[in-house]
């Protein structure tokens, strides 16, 4: 029994960790779009193609925006430190965030001291080859995002463990919440001396496994299989972060400068060198397969295909309501690169189909590099396709469209066959007739009404232990799962309902989830 409880606690911790990365990632997504747009609009080849962009005032605004947004990306480790500490801490989240920044600063300066004492401080001209870099003005071991994750985890642990600690009277002022950042500094000092010793070994390990995901022939396929498979656990962001920001994503020598990870190399080529540079043809087809190009196959082609298959197989009596739900989840992916609402609509009712979905996502992505598809950046929305596909040269966007159409056809027929063959209860195929209100409540943003339905469907206030949300799901801990009325919950307009564990339920609302959660919190307090 204790082993089962321990396993469940570990699983919950891993899921919480994965969700904690959503906060910085949610910031990086729109800021990345602004950075990408500003970088693109001040490129020399773009100015040659569109002379109107060369206007002095316009360029001053664009370059200022580029500088501002670049600062955010230059400090990704701090963002990760704050996001992880906030997400992982159960108590005093604000103190945990403050402590994480203090801890990150301590970590970097301690590693600087280690390099100085051991005589391993590299010359600035070759420090990148030695795995070192300048962070906030200090030359140190370059941990990138991992340094922020480490500081965030330790700060969150310190906040939960010591926020009520009491010291002797002479030191009482430093007790309680004030102790958290102080103790975080003390904890980070030995960590700062230990990390440089093991970091070299850890870097070698990442490189040793990177051949699977970075293989020229099947790597991009293996990556997307793993990426989709990790979505239910909230760990797909972790996988993406490792390949984007660490040695596991490869090391690229571009014009004599070394770039570690997929994203730094992509940024240099996409925003500084441009399509006419030889590095574009050499590296972009591979890099983009793990980034925007790979995402676009899912958001622009596969998700609409699955949505169409669901609509075509919906029962006639439910098609009108199902249409609203399906269109919403498809547009969420098409416009916002958020695929979870649709994926969760069939994940737990047909896990075998989800396995097929993951495998297909990998196999059908394999031709990306062969077709020389070179559409960047991080996300895969229709806007990204327009900016980084149509406005840039040498992107081979036509090949992406052709491959996308093939993906659309394959996914449509596979899902249509599976839904009908195994009689899956995808949206519109429920055994009961959906209420007319289910298609209008979310559309009309009637969150108080939705919250009332959710509370009733969950068995009332007394049956709810805790309510949280992630990017698309309402996550609720229950006293008694038998009191849940799933038919009632469906009336709220949710896209899916499932139990990841016996006393924990997920209700999928897509991008509306935060507003639904706020309304539920308000009713719970009222």
User: Residues 116-165: pLDDT tens digits?
Assistant: 999 989 888 767 656 778 888 899 988 877 888 899 999 999 999 998 88
Domain assignment of residue 7, yes or no: no
Domain assignment of residue 262, yes or no: yes
Domain residue limits at 277:
222-421
Residues 381 and 509 in one domain: no
| Token pair recorded at residue 485 | 């009325």
Residues 184 and 84 in one domain: yes
Give start and end residues of each alpha helix (H) in 300-459. 303-313, 319-336, 340-347, 351-363, 367-370, 382-384, 397-421, 447-457
Residues 52 and 169 in one domain: yes
Residues 161 and 231 in one domain: no
Residues 193 and 228 in one domain: no
Residues 165 and 247 in one domain: no
Domain assignment of residue 427, yes or no: no
Domain assignment of residue 318, yes or no: yes
pLDDT confidence band for 207 (50 / 70 / 90) = low
- Which residues fall within 8 angstroms of residue 96, CB to CB, at 6 or more apart? 85, 86, 88, 89, 155, 156, 158, 159, 160, 180
Residues 231 and 185 in one domain: no
- Residues 447 and 515: beta-carbon distance below 8 Å: yes
State mean pLDDT over 64-72: 87
Place of tokens 């316009």: 58
Reply yes or no on whether the pLDDT at 435 is more than 60.
Answer: no
Which of 386, 421, 456 is the last residue in one of the domains?
A: 421
Between CA 294 and CA 306, with CA 300 as vertex, the angle to 5 degrees is 105
Residues 73 and 183 in one domain: yes
Check: pTM over 0.85? Answer yes or no: no
- Residues 306 and 334: beta-carbon distance below 8 Å: no
Residues 456 and 399 in one domain: no
Q: Among 12-26, 172-186, 248-262, 309-323, which stretch is predicted with the lowest mean pLDDT?
A: 12-26
Which of 210, 242, 261 is the last residue in one of the domains?
A: 210
- Number of folded domains that form the chain: 3
Residues 480 and 354 in one domain: no
Between CA 394 and CA 84 the distance in angstroms is 38
Domain assignment of residue 5, yes or no: no
Domain assignment of residue 431, yes or no: no
Place of tokens 């232990």: 465
pLDDT confidence band for 66 (50 / 70 / 90) = confident
Q: CA nearest 304: which of 325, 323, 331, 340?
A: 331
Residues 274 and 393 in one domain: yes
Residues 195 and 271 in one domain: no
Q: CA nearest 82: which of 148, 33, 16?
A: 148
Reply yes or no on whether the pLDDT at 62 is more than 50.
Answer: yes
């Amino acid at each position: 029994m204790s082993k089962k409880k321990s396993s469940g606690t570990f699983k919950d911790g891993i899921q919480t960790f994965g969700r904690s990365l959503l906060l910085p990632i949610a910031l990086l997504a729109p800021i990345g779009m602004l950075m990408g747009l500003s970088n693109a609009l001040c490129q020399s080849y773009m100015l040659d193609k569109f002379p109107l962009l060369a206007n002095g005032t316009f360029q001053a605004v664009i370059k200022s925006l580029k500088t501002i947004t670049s600062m955010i990306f230059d400090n990704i480790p701090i963002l990760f430190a704050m996001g992880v500490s906030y997400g992982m801490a159960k108590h005093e989240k604000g103190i945990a965030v403050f402590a994480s920044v203090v801890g990150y600063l301590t970590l970097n300066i301690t590693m600087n001291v280690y390099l100085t004492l051991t005589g391993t401080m590299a010359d600035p001209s070759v420090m990148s080859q030695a795995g070192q870099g300048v962070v906030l003005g200090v030359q140190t071991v370059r941990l990138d995002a991992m340094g922020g994750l480490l500081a965030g985890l330790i700060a969150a642990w310190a906040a939960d463990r010591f926020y009520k600690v009491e010291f002797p009277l002479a030191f009482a002022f430093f007790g309680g919440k004030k102790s958290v950042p102080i103790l975080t500094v003390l904890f980070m000092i030995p960590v700062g001396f230990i990390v440089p010793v093991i970091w070299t070994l850890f870097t070698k390990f990442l490189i040793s496994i990177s051949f699977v995901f970075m293989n020229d022939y099947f790597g991009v396929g293996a990556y997307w299989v793993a990426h989709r498979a990790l979505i239910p656990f909230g760990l797909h962001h972790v996988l993406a972060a490792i390949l984007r920001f660490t040695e596991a994503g490869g090391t690229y020598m571009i014009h004599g400068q070394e770039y570690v990870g997929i994203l730094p190399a992509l940024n240099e080529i996409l925003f500084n060198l441009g399509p006419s540079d030889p590095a574009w043809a050499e590296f972009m087809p591979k890099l983009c397969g793990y980034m925007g190009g790979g995402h676009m196959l899912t958001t622009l082609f596969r998700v609409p295909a699955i949505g169409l298959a669901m609509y075509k197989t919906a029962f006639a009596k439910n098609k009108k309501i199902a249409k609203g739900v399906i269109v919403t989840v498809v547009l969420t992916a098409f416009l916002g690169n958020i695929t979870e609402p649709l994926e969760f609509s069939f994940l737990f009712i047909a896990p075998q189909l989800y396995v097929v979905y993951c495998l297909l996502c990998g196999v059908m992505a394999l031709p990306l590099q062969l077709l020389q598809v070179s559409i960047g950046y991080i996300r895969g929305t229709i806007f990204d396709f327009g900016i980084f596909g149509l406005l840039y040269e040498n992107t081979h966007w036509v090949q992406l469209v052709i491959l996308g159409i093939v993906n659309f056809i394959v996914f449509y027929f596979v899902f249509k066959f599976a839904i009908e063959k195994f009689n899956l209860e995808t949206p519109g195929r429920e055994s009961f007739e959906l209420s007319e209100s289910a298609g209008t409540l979310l559309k009309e943003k009637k969150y108080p009404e939705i919250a009332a339905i959710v509370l009733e469907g969950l068995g009332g206030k007394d049956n709810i232990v805790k309510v949280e949300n992630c990017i698309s799901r309402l996550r609720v801990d229950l006293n008694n799962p038998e009191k849940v009325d799933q038919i009632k919950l469906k009336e709220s307009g949710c896209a899916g309902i499932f139990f990841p564990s016996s006393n924990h339920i997920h209700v999928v609302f897509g991008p509306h989830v935060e507003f639904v959660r706020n309304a539920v919190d308000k009713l719970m307090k009222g």
